[in-house]
Homo-oligomer: A and B are copies of this chain.
Amino acid sequence: MDLHGAFHVYDTTLRDGAQQEGLNLSVADKLSIAKQLDGLGVGYIEGGWPGANPKDTEFFRRAGQELDLRHAKLAAFGATRRAGVRAADDPMIAALRDSGASVVTLVAKSHDRHVELALRTTLEENLAMVRDTVTHLRAEGQTVFLDAEHFFDGYRENRAYALEVLRTAAEAGAEVVALCDTNGGMLPDWVSDVVLDVIETTGARVGIHAHNDSGCAVANSLAAVAAGATHVQGCINGYGERTGNADLVTVVANLELKLDRTVLPQGLLREATRIAHAVAEVTNVPPASRQPYVGTSAFAHKAGLHASAIKVDPNLYQHLDPLVVGNDMRLLVSDMAGRASIELKGKELGYDLSDDRELVTRVTARVKEMEQNGHTFEAADASFELLLAEEVEGARPSYFDVESWRVITETRPDGEAISEATVKLRAEDVRYVVTGEGNGPVNALDAALREAIGQAFPEVAKFELIDYKVRILDQGHGTDAITRVLIETTDGESSWVTVGVGANVIEASWGALVDGLTFGLRRQHR
C-alpha cells in the first residue's frame, strides 16, 4: 500500500549526507536545503535523528512551523528501542513520534555480528526490538520504513537471519524495507541477486540505500530497481560518510531519461542543476565539477576535435541534451583549443569571427601563449572576452590608469588585525588617492579600487566580489612558482570571472580585480 506515489525517491542529505567529512550543517542550513530538495520533487526528506541529536530535534520543531513543502514528506530517522526496554517507554522512540514527521524510518541491525558485538544483545531480542518498535509506532498511526543496516553483509554471513529481520518488520507493518549497503562494498550483479531473492522470499516492498565505496553506488541503486526495488535512498551531490551515498540526482536522471521511469513530478528534473548548486552553496562544500548531469564540467568540451564536431551537431559528443537537467554545454578555450573552439566561443560571446581567419589565428596564438604563462581561460570567460575585444578593436578596453597600490595588514593594540589598502590612479583626467579597509588584503584593495573608480564611474558601487580562487603553479625546478587567481564579480544581475597571474599572490589578485572591474564597466558602457 503506497501512500506516496508508485516510486519513492528518498533523500537523506540532512541525515546520512551530513556525516560527510567537512560537512557541518546548522538548523538554518538544514531548513534551507529542505526547501531546495522539495523544489526537486523528491518524495521524502529524511531530516535527521530527533531525540538523539539536539540540532535535529530543533530542525523538526521549526520545520513544522516554517516549512511549507509542496512535494516531499518529512521522515524522522532513529533506532529501534533499546534492548530490554518497552518501545512505549523508550524516550528515543517518543522523540521520533513527537517529531511531527510523516514517516519514521527505523534503523535496525540485520547483520548477526553487529547484533552481538555492537548492540551486545541476542539475535532474538533484536528481532523483538524490531517487532515491538514497528508495532508501537504503527499503533500510534505512524507510517514506518525500515532501514536494514549492513543488510548485504549480514545476508552473506547469515541469510536466514537477515531475511527474518525484514519479515519481522514487514509483518509488524513497516511499509518499506530498505536494504542498506552500509559499508558500501557491493557490486551491481550481487545487489541484483540479493534483491531478487528478498522480493521472492519475503514479498516485502524493497528499497535500496547504497554507498560508493566500490565506485558503484549509482549502478547498485539501478540494479536494485531493475530487480524490483521501488524505493531509492541517496543524497544530493552524493554527500555522505567516507565515499558518500548514491548521488540521488544521478540515479533519478538515469531512471527518468534512460530507463523511462517517471519518478519525479513532471518538469522538475529540469531544476536539478540549479538545485544541486544551490545546496552546495549552503553546505559550503565546493561542488565536484565532474559530477554527472549537474557538474559544471559535465557538458564541457575541450578537445579541438570534439569542438569541430559539435559545430556540426552537439549530439555528436553529448549523451543527451543538457537542458533536460538544467545544465549548459560549454566550450573550453585552452591550448587544446583549435580555431573551431575559438570561433564557437567568440560566437557564444557575441562576436562573429567566421569571416576573419587572420584574427582567429592571432587570438588562438595569444591564448596558447598566455596559457603557457599560467593563465587559464577555461574558467575565465570575461578575461577571454577582454582579450578578444583587444584583438578586434585594436586596444584593450581601459577606463583608468593605475599609478601604484599598497596594502598593509597589522595587529592593532587591541589585538585585532585590520587590512588597509591605498590605491593611486587616474580616471577621466582626475587623479585619485584612496584608502580602503577590509578583512584581508584583497578585500581591502577591492574596496579602495572601487571607491577610487566609483568617483568617476558610480555604477561600480553595484559590483561585488563573490568568489576568489588561488592556485600556485609549479613551473619546475629552479624557477619561481607563479600564482593564478580567479575572481568572480557580480553586478547583482549576472556575474563574470576574470583571471590574474603573477609571482606574488596579491599582484595576481590585483590583475584579476582590475580586469573584473574593466569588464563590468565595459558591459555598462556598450
Cα distance A407–B226 when bound, in Å?
Answer: 62
| Contact in complex: A118, B243 (CB < 8 Å) | no
In the complex, whether A417 has a CB less than 8 A from a CB of chain B is: yes
When C-beta atoms are compared, the residue in chain B nearest to A473 turns out to be: B284
Q: Answer yes or no: A94 CB below 8 A from chain B CBs.
A: no
Contact of A506 among B289, B409, B480 (CB under 8 A): B409
A298, B182: Cβ atoms under 8 Å?
no
Whether B118 pairs with A316 at a CB distance below 8 angstroms is: yes
Instruction: Determine if A526 is an interface residue (Cβ-Cβ < 8 Å).
Output: no
- Measured in the bound complex, the distance between the Cα atoms of B336 and A243 in whole Å is 18
Which of A61-69, A185-193, A389-397 faces chain B? Answer: A185-193
Q: How far is the CA of A510 from the CA of B20 in the complex (A)?
A: 28
> Does A474 touch B at the CB level, under 8 Å?
yes
Q: Inside 8 A of A505's CB, which chain B residues have their CB?
A: 439-441, 443
Contact of A440 among B118, B250, B483 (CB under 8 A): B483
Residue on B nearest A281 in the bound complex, by CB: B474
| Per-residue contact bits, chain A 271-311, to B (CB 8 Å; 1 contact, 0 not) | 00000000000001000111111011111111100101100
Q: Mark A497-526, 1 if CB is under 8 A from B, else 0.
A: 000001111110010000000000000000
Give complex CA distance A480, B411 in Å: 18
Instruction: Say whether A379 contacts B117, CB under 8 Å.
Output: no
A300 near B242: Cβ-Cβ < 8 Å: yes
Q: Select A218's contact among B215, B297, B471, beta carbons within 8 Å.
A: B215
Do A21 and B215 touch across chains, with their CB atoms under 8 A apart? no
Q: Using an 8 Å CB-CB cutoff, how does the interface string of A234-257 with B read, 1 for contact, 0 for none? A: 000010011110010011001000
Cross-chain contact of A242 among B213, B297, B441, B502 (Cβ < 8 A): B297
Q: Does A199 contact B (CB under 8 A)?
A: no
**Residue on B nearest A118 in the bound complex, by CB:** B309
Show 27 A/B contacts (Cβ-Cβ < 8 Å), sorted by A: A19-B302, A19-B336, A21-B302, A22-B289, A24-B376, A113-B316, A118-B308, A184-B319, A185-B258, A188-B219, A188-B222, A189-B226, A212-B290, A213-B319, A214-B254, A214-B258, A216-B254, A243-B298, A405-B411, A406-B411, A407-B409, A409-B506, A409-B507, A411-B507, A416-B503, A419-B506, A441-B505
Q: A409-B504, A441-B506, A470-B470 are in contact. List 8 more A-B contacts (CB 8 A).
A: A21-B296, A183-B319, A214-B218, A216-B219, A219-B220, A242-B290, A404-B410, A439-B481
